[in-house]
Amino acid sequence: MTSADPAYRLLIADDHPLFRTALKEAMSGEAAAILEAGSFDEASKTLEADPTLDLVLLDLNMPGVSGFSGLMYLRAQYPSVPVVVVSANEDPKVIRRCMEFGASGFIPKTLGVDVMRSAVRAVLEGDEWTPPGIDLAAAGDDESAKLAQRLGTLTPQQVRVLMMLSQGLLNKQIAYELGVSEATVKAHVSAILAKLGVESRTQAVIAAAKIEAGQWPERAAN
């Protein structure tokens, strides 16, 4: 399949309407359908309704998620759908971490339309794309790298639970949000602690926050 016969279906997940519109216009020649989501929950529901999308363009920080947790969840829940991170953060460490968590590409928002289009086209054709000059093999913090590997072993539901723990929700609140029993939530928390090698839910949240400059997601306003 080539860009001359654009039958791809994309999802743009970003909370800035103007950027979504600009990106949608930029990608209009590369896809037959372009869906939009202004929050992480909206993006999740869109993928749940249609998990056959060809590509997700994901902002790292938007209502309902921040940092790498959204990327982690999408890669765990929908492993067959490539995710390209589109972010204003151009820190090489962030780019490397995104790729470690399974992103198929990283596009800085400062790039021109033509470069963005070429990057998306490359990923749609099966390649990975990162900004020129980024050394993905550069040595990083061993402790953070090991922790990132542990985080990568979490199931989609465990990622959601950890996201909610980071928002300060109690077990009964998490159970309500996920539609499961408190016993199920407790089992997920125990599994998270074991996988991360920590002893408390607070330590789990702190450990996860260590691998990025910011914190895990703040609770989105209703």
Write the CA distances from 185 to 70, 75, 159, integer angstroms: 19, 21, 12
pLDDT tens-place string over residues 23-35: 888 888 778 799 9
The pLDDT of residue 186: 94
Strand ranges inside 76-205, DSSP E: 83-87, 105-108
129 three-class SS: strand
- pLDDT at residue 218 is higher than 70: no
Domains delineated in the chain:
9-124 (3.40.50.2300), 142-209 (1.10.10.10)
206 three-class SS: helix
Q: What is the mean pLDDT of the chain?
A: 83
What is the percent of the chain with per-residue pLDDT over 90, rounded to a whole number?
A: 36
